[in-house]
Every structure is written in structure tokens, then in C-alpha cells.
Chains A and B, each alone.
Chain A
Amino acid sequence: MEETRIGVYICNCGTNIAKVVDCEAVAEAMGKLPQVTVARVYKYMCSNPGQDMICQDIREHGLNRVVVAACSPRMHERTFRAAVQSAGLNPYLLEMANIREHCSWVHEEQDAATAKAMALTRSAVLRVAKHEPLEKMSADMCPFTLVIGGGIAGLTAALELADAGHGVYLVEKAGQLGGTLARDDLTAPYLDSARDLMTERLTRVGQNEKIQVFLGAEVKKLSGFIGNFNATIRTAAGNGTGEERSVDVGSVIVCTGYQEFDASRITHYGYGKLPNVITSFEFERMLRAGRIQTHEGRIPQYVAIVHCVGSRNREFHGYCSRVCCMTALKYAHEIKSAIPGVYVSDLYIDMHAFGKGHEDFYRHSSEVKTLFLMYGKNAHPVIRKAGRGDDGERLLEVNEQLSGEVIEIPADLVILMVGMEARQDAGEVARLVNISQDKDGWFIESHPKLDPVATTTEGIFIAGTCAAPKDIPDSVAQARAAAARILGKIAKEKIEIDAVFAEVNEDLCSGCRVCNELCPYSAIDFDPVRRRSHINSALCKACGACGAACPSGAIKARHFTDQQIFAQIEGVLS
């Protein structure tokens, strides 16, 4: 038999790993293990030079096993499998040790973290020595896509796929399409109508026979894997019973959007108690109705707009909601056009005008005499009832940062710019499609910069504000990106299936049939003549339940064999 020659590669991940783990010490320790031919450290193992280093070693040192100690295998196992394959090694002769997510990012103490990184890497070395080359299989890619959520992102994604000739099931929880954008009047910074944007999308979706829309509907169940999902869609009927439909899809795009921050949680603004203190969404309704007025039906002479309600606030949401600053400027513009002689004051912390055309829009707003007042992050404006001689119904007291003075401004109408937050039911959606949420509840992308619309579950994509606050152009771009990713997979017609599945050693099988009932995919047949069980590898999804249960040790869970796991156990404990 060929001599085992293992190369071990420790990634610094910039400083992500190296600042806590002594990578050189890990490499030195690994270099002393039997069967390890080379052990090296590099800045970014996933970079091209990093991968090239591994490939070159495979050729020069005749390596036949590779261990990469870096990030989670859920992040880069595919990258490194492809790398070793390009150097002529079977991709399954690679093993990763997760010394970032499971080590440097969760531990502070250097010695302990380094010891743990050594244990994890050693475990991978012992395991990889037991690896066997495996061959991949392929399965059909179902060209249909399930889009969950019918807002601007969902509509765009559906159109992109349908325009390319592929079927889409578009599931919307509400009774109509459009999502939160359908509630808006004009959009910043070019003041084009949200209604126009929506109408264009809705008309095209309505006319496209490739798109099947389910309104007042929810996805109740999703099973399967990339290329071969099965979804159960329930449409609500009047009496609550509903009707269920099962559809086969190859991919899923989640576009479930956001919900608005509940302004009544900030008690000192008095939202919900004081009349004429309203949220941006309520004001948007007024704009769409074409009449800006107070609770009493009067035309306001003084309007105050308060930014960052619930956003950039440690008590509520630490993040910036991104769209409110420009929306506030848009309000100033719309109020001024509608009510001649009105005074508009804009109370902000910082003006975030980051996007294309935003800075021009801000300058333009200043030129039309909106009064901008900067308040401190921890010195929120105070709303009081005005006295007899005062203008306006209420007074807002602002500790103005630029002048350093306490300024009182009158207001007949106060608009609270409420931020975006993750939907209350986002957790349910995450569980349904098996994706993760961050600490604020937003769905997590596969990679924040390089893979922003994919998730860690293959075949499940995210687009729009369900992933984080964003504006319309970004939501549309994400929706199209997700659709493009799926079109690429559909074009290939086949998806590669992992070579990891279970198999029966018929010499050891006693024909007890314990495994037959355990398999959730009915992948195990029993041959009554030979009294042996047999696993259909195309149906097997590699859970390994049969392997754990086989009393004769006849079932081998490929790539997760008893010997491989035993080696790992020895590795982490030695």
C-alpha cells in the first residue's frame, strides 16, 4: 500500500486566527506527527497563493492527504476540495480543522486557544489518514423556483427567472403583492413614484404565465436538498382550514422583508398617546392620500421630522436602518411642495447620504430652507405641549450639537422616522428553510462580502431587507443576483451530489432488517432470497442513522466511518 503523506496547512486568516492562536506553534507540533510530510502557515490559505502552495506541495512532496486548519468547513471545504482536486488528488482526501469559528473567534486566552487548535488539527490529521478516495454522483436540477415574499425583491427575482423561461411559485402571506414598498408614495432621491415602480412589476408578473402567484399563502414545509426540494404551500381559505399544495422546486429565494420598529417602545416621544405624533409609515399613508393634515383636520404650519427612532440606539437597535435619512429629506420636499409657507425642521444625529445621488439630494434639501438640527446620540429631543404664546401645538426641545445651544422649535405635526427590524416571524422562516439569523434577527449570508445572497444551506438564497436594512436599488440588485445564481445552476441541468452515502458490506450483513425501517428515505431494500439489505445510493442522503444502528457493523457511512470518527476522538483527546 502507498505510504501516507499528509500536508498540514494552518491559516492565519489575516489576524482572525493568528491574533489568538499561535499558528507557528500549531504547525511545529503537527510537523512532528507521524505521516505528516509538511506543515506550513500562511496568511490566507483560501487565497490563490495559499491554494497554489498546497497544490505545489502535493506535486513536489507527493502528498496524498491534506489537512487545512482554518475556518469552518461549511465555509471553505468546497474551495479546498477543488484545490486539491486541481492538483490531481481525490477531493475527499482533504479534511478541515475549524480553528476560527470554533476557536479563535470564541476564545480569548492564547495558550488555551492554541492548545485547542492543536487538538482540533491533530484530530483532522488522524482522521484524514483514514480517508478513502470517493467518486461523486449527479442528480437532476429541478428548474422551478420557490420565491417566498412578494415585495420588490420577490417580484424582481420571480421576473428574472420567468423571463429566462423558468417556472416560479411566488408565495405571499398578505392578500396582495407589493410588500412594504406598496405603502410608499414617492422614493428618494429622484422622487419617482413607488406606485409606478410597483405597477411595472405587478403588471409584468400578472402577465407572465411562468409565474404562479399564491396570495394569503404560506410555505408550511420544505424538505429535500438543492435541485430537489419539495414544498408544501398552504393557501388560507375563509374558515381557516386552507388548501395545501405540494410543489417540486430546485431552489428557494427568501424575500420576506422587514417590519417597522414599534415607536411606542420609546415612551418619551409619546407615540400612541399624544395626537399628531405619527410614524413615517403613517405619514406615507397621508402622502398617498394626498392630504397632509393634523389629527384635527388642520393643515400644519410647523412640521418636525425626528430621525433614528429605534435605530442607532443601544437600547433598541444598534444598527443604522439606512433608508430613513433620505426618506426624511423626501418628506421635507413633499411637505414643502404641498403646503406653501410651511416650516420644516429635521432633527438628525448624523445625515447618512451614502448612495448615488443622495448627497445632491441633501444639498438640494438644505437649499430649500429645511431647518436642520443635529442632536446627540444620547440626548434625544423632548416633546412638550406648547404654551399660550407659542407657535404650533407642541414644542421640541433639542440640545443642538453644532451651535451648542438648547433650541426650542414649534411643531403641529411630529414625524418619527421609525427604523427597520427583522420580522417577528423571521425565526419560523429560518427554521423552515434551515438558515441562520444574526443577533438582530436578520438572515445570514454565506459570506458577507463574496457571497451575499447565498446561505449556508445550498439552494436557499436570500434577497432584500430580510437580510439587513437596505434601499430599493440594493434589494433589486440582490434579487437579480439570487436569480442569476439559480439560472447558472439550471443551465447545467445536473447538480453534483456528494459522494458521501452509506453502503452495506454484504459479507457482514446478517439480514436482521433493523436498518430497513430506520431510513427516512426508504433507500434500503431487502433481498429476501439472499437475505441481505442493500442501500440505493441515489436515494441515500448520508445521515448515517443506519450505520449507527447496524448490530453487525455491516453498514459503512462513507466519509463518516467508525474508524474515521474514532481517529478524530483520539485526536482531540490525546
Chain B
Amino acid sequence: MSFQPKIVGFLCNWCSYAGADLAGTSRIHYPPNVRVIRVMCSARIDPTFVLKALQEGADGVLICGCHPGDCHYTEGNYKAMRRFPLLKRMLASFGIEDARVRLEWVSASEGQRFADIVSEMTEKIRALGPSTIKAKLNTDRVER
């Protein structure tokens, strides 16, 4: 069987988690590679969550929040957006490929968009192959 990437999804409760629920109620099929963890807002996503997921063996991490301007908490997604480039720069210094960690906006009405993002991300990571970060991070003893 081909390589099945493990992707951890951090989804905000109000837009993206509802969007993923809508993909379900609409029976829109997508690959079973993403495992979703619900947070109230994308601003709750501490960069250490992403590092922890990679350290535990995730091949990819998907962060989803409300579209800019639509945040349930007014501007939490902007905080996530501002934090993201810093995280990416740090991940790049670990040699982590760009496609492994993504930030996307998914509204409560975008079930199809969520399914499309997961499908596309799964394919991209499958092409990259398994992550070697787990081993690297563990030898470097990066823990919180």
C-alpha cells in the first residue's frame, strides 16, 4: 500500500470545525489522513502544538481558522496569521518542507473547501514521503 501520511488538523470551533462537520453532513468524501483537534480559535494554536505534533510523528499539520474578517472573536485569525510566518521560519531552519505545515481559512459553509484542502494536502505530503522530523526533534531534545 502507498504511504499514508498522518496529518494533524487544528480547527477553530466556530468556522472550520463547523465546515468539516458540513463536509460530513454533505457526505463529501476525502482521504482519512487528517485527524482533527478542536480549539476555540485559531489564535489558541500555540506554535508548540505544531512542534509537538511533528515530534509525535505527524507528517503534516493543518491549521484552519475563519476567513479574515469573520473571526468569532473578531481578530483571532489575524493573530494566527501573524504568528504563522515566524513558525514557518523556525520550521524551515529545522529543514521541514514548506508543504508539511499549512494555514488555511475555512468557513462554516465551506465543507467542500475543507475536503479539497485535505485531499490536496494529503497528496502533496504523500509525494514528499514520511517526515523525518520526529527523529531529528527527538535527538535535539526540543521539548516544552
Contact = CB atoms under 8 A, between A and B. Distances in A.
Interface of A: 72-75, 98, 100-103, 105-109, 112-113, 115-116, 119-120, 123, 223, 427, 430-431, 434-439, 444, 456-457, 500, 518, 520, 541-545, 547-549, 557, 560, 562, 565-566, 568-570, 572-574
Given A430-B108, A543-B76, A102 B41 contact: no
15 contacts: A105-B24, A105-B27, A113-B32, A430-B107, A434-B108, A437-B109, A457-B14, A520-B76, A543-B41, A545-B43, A548-B83, A573-B53, A573-B57, A573-B58, A574-B56
Given A434-B72, A543-B76, A101 B23 contact: yes
B45 interface: yes
A565 B47 CA distance: 12
- Shortest Cβ-Cβ A-B pairs, 7 listed: A101-B24, A544-B44, A545-B43, A572-B35, A543-B73, A543-B41, A105-B24
Nearest to A573: B56
A541 B17 CA distance: 18
Contact of B75 (A109, A427, A520, A572): A520
B44 A541 contact: no
A453 to B, nearest CB: 17
B8 A434 contact: no
B51 to A, nearest CB: 10
Given A434-B72, A562-B46, A106 B40 contact: no
Nearest to A518: B79
Interface in B78-130: 79, 83, 107-109, 112, 115
B24 A72 contact: yes
A545 B23 contact: no
A557 B44 contact: yes
A570 B56 contact: yes
Contact of B18 (A123, A427, A456): A456
B73 A436 contact: no
B21 A548 contact: no
Contacts of B139: none
A456 B18 CA distance: 8
B24 A106 contact: yes
Interface centre among B17, B18, B32 (most CB of A within 10 A): B32
Contact of B21 (A74, A430, A439): A74
A439 B36 CA distance: 23
A106 B21 contact: no
Contact of B43 (A103, A548, A569): A548
Given A123-B37, A520-B75, A542-B40, A106 B14 contact: no
B2 interface: no
A547 B44 contact: yes
A223 B75 CA distance: 12
A107 B29 contact: yes
Contacts of B56: 569-570, 573-574
A529 B48 CA distance: 32
A544 B79 CA distance: 11
A542 B76 CA distance: 11
A520 B43 CA distance: 11
A102 B19 CA distance: 10
B72 A560 contact: no
Interface in B12-64: 13-15, 17-30, 32, 35-41, 43-49, 52-53, 56-58
Contacts of A427: 109
Nearest to B44: A544
Contacts of A435: 108-109
B25 A119 contact: no
Interface centre among A105, A435, A544, A560 (most CB of B within 10 A): A544
Contacts of B39: 544, 560, 565
B25 A105 contact: yes
Contacts of B67: 431
B52 A566 contact: yes
A105 B32 CA distance: 11
A74 B56 CA distance: 28
A541 B23 CA distance: 27
B83 to A, nearest CB: 8
Contacts of B40: 500, 542-544, 557, 560
A574 B52 CA distance: 13
Given A434-B108, A520-B74, A548-B44, A73 B38 contact: yes
Given A102-B24, A545-B43, A573-B56, A108 B29 contact: yes
Contacts of B70: 431, 434
A5 B29 CA distance: 36
Given A541-B73, A544-B39, A573 B25 contact: no
A109 B31 CA distance: 9
Contacts of A457: 14
B44 A100 contact: no
A115 B6 CA distance: 12
A223 B18 contact: no
A20 to B, nearest CB: 10
A75 to B, nearest CB: 8
A545 B67 CA distance: 17
A573 B56 CA distance: 7
Contacts of A112: 4, 32
Contacts of A437: 109
Contacts of B58: 569, 573
B17 A106 contact: no
B106 to A, nearest CB: 12
A545 B30 contact: no
Nearest to B48: A562
Contacts of A545: 41, 43-44, 73, 76, 79
